[in-house]
Amino acid sequence: MSANSWLRAWIGLEINLLAFIPLIRDNNNLISTEASLKYFLTQALASSVLLFAVVIIFLNNYPSIQINTLYTKIIILSSLLIKRGAAPFHFWFPNVMEGLSWINRLILITWQKIAPLILISSTMQSRVIIVTIFLSVIIGALGGLNQTSLRKLIAYSSINHLGWIFTAIEARESLWVAYFIFYSFLSFSIIFIFNTFKISHINQLFSLFFNSKTIKFIVFLNLLSLGGLPPFLGFIPKWLVIQSLIANRQLITITVLTVTSLITLFFYLRLCFAAFILNYYETNWITSINIPKTIFKNLIILSFISSFGLFLISLIYMFL
């Protein structure tokens, strides 16, 4: 974030990579080791491309060697998109997410996004980023439709949210920071729940919460908030982005983002439908879940903020 040249930014990204690899590698888990290897190879490829672009920038200082700066910026932007796992460079991201623990997944979809997003915001190329926005929201929406793994579901949801973040970067530079803060809080809320109950697949979700009505509604309300359904907290950043797009009269972008957001809401509602209908079958042999009071209070607080955040912020806005 504090780098004043691309070479120092590259060094910072490499230090970040070398610090994250030991966190995700587990000698007792072959899947985690495979995920760490995939992550390392992909990031190394992106770093080599970025270093190649940095060398081109230095060569442009010589009068005898002149390379179009537009191409250089596109190469830099492509390397940063590879590092971040945005479409069309997203193929490694769901596979790596599948092999990590929930805590490492949270770090990957929140903290590890910060440095590439800041660099992308300073290398904005409208034509390239528009293609990335459309591909990210479409692939993120369609990719989650046929998933039974909650890990890959969160991965494709992250790709979809990346499209919204890139739109916020293009619309107004400070807007993406607000979107990222809201997204990080909602991701923390849902991953905190999944990590507490060690849930990784949809069938575990259904069988675990049948006899715990409160926890069931907490989980599904947080899922709907992450999908951006009003009047939950997750609707606020999308609302702000849509307002900026309306002010700039980008109607095609608004249409694509809204339709793909409805698709993501569809696969979240598919998870929540069985829990919200009045009459459905419950198995009698599943015992009730004993949850420590501290964890239960934290779940209630996170769920309250996620569910009623729009009302709270509206009230604060009215009084201010």
3 state SS for the chain? CCCCCHHHHHHHHHHHHHHHHHHHCCCCCHHHHHHHHHHHHHHHHHHHHHHHHHHHHHHCCCCCCCCCHHHHHHHHHHHHHHHHCCCCCCCHHHHHHHCCCHHHHHHHHCHHHHHHHHHHHCCCCHHHHHHHHHHHHHHHHHHCCCCCEHHHHHHHHHHHHHHHHHHHHHHCCCHHHHHHHHHHHHHHHHHHHHHHHCCCEHHHHHHHCCCCHHHHHHHHHHHHHHHCCCCCCCHHHHHHHHHHHHHCCCHHHHHHHHHHHHHHHHHHHHHHHHHHCCCCCCCCCCCCCCCCHHHHHHHHHHHHHHHHHHHHHHHHHHHC
Q: What is the pLDDT of residue 266?
A: 87
Q: Name the more confident of 120 and 64.
A: 120
Over residues 50-55, mean pLDDT: 89
Lowest average pLDDT, out of 67-76, 194-203, 229-238, goes to: 67-76
Could you read off the pLDDT of 215-260 as tens digits, one per residue? 777 888 888 888 888 888 888 899 889 989 998 888 899 999 999 9
Residue 283 scores a pLDDT above 90: no
Q: What is the pLDDT of residue 290?
A: 63
pLDDT band at 63 (very low <50, low <70, confident <90, very high): low
Residue 313 scores a pLDDT above 90: no
pLDDT band at 87 (very low <50, low <70, confident <90, very high): confident
Residue 50 scores a pLDDT above 80: yes
pLDDT band at 317 (very low <50, low <70, confident <90, very high): low
Q: What is the pTM of this model?
A: 0.90
Could you read off the pLDDT of 155-183 as tens digits, one per residue? 999 999 999 999 999 887 788 999 999 99
Name the average pLDDT for the chain.
84
